[in-house]
Amino acid sequence: MEFKGNKGEWSELYTTLKLLADGKIYAADENMEKLEKLVFPILQILRVEKDRSLNYLINGSIKIQDGKTSEIICEIDRSEFLNASALLFENISKLSGRSISVNRFTKKRDLLTFL
């Protein structure tokens, strides 16, 4: 399967993976400086696609749940999301062009296996 996207689309995927890995997001001040003492936990991320919806539940690990049936599809350790987000960030920051194919990524097989 061929994955293509522009830098913004790859960045959206990176952000989702990173938020799932961290399980929290920090507030910022008017200068966009992180406020270490004001942290918001992320309990879940909801993703709606054309033909289905998925809930990513954060509780130690990540449980991926079918949005319609509430059935748990799989459970993945958060460290795998952290590794995938780091790999994706490394590639996004190095690549340029309008449409970026995953074939241009270093360690693309690792990323594709995870996705």
Express each pLDDT in 14-46 by its tens digit.
999 999 999 999 999 999 999 999 999 999 999
pLDDT value at residue 1: 57
Q: pLDDT-derived band of residue 13, with 50, 70 and 90 as boundaries?
A: very high
pLDDT value at residue 3: 79
DSSP result, the chain: ---EE-HHHHHHHHHHHHHHHH-EEEEE-TT--EEEEEEEE--EEEEE-SS-EEEEEEESEEEEEETTT--EEEEEEHHHHHHHHHHHHHHHHH--SSSEEGGGSTTHHHHHHH-
Rounded-to-integer distance, Cα 91 and Cα 19, Å? 18
Express each pLDDT in 77-109 by its tens digit.
999 999 999 999 998 888 787 788 888 888 888
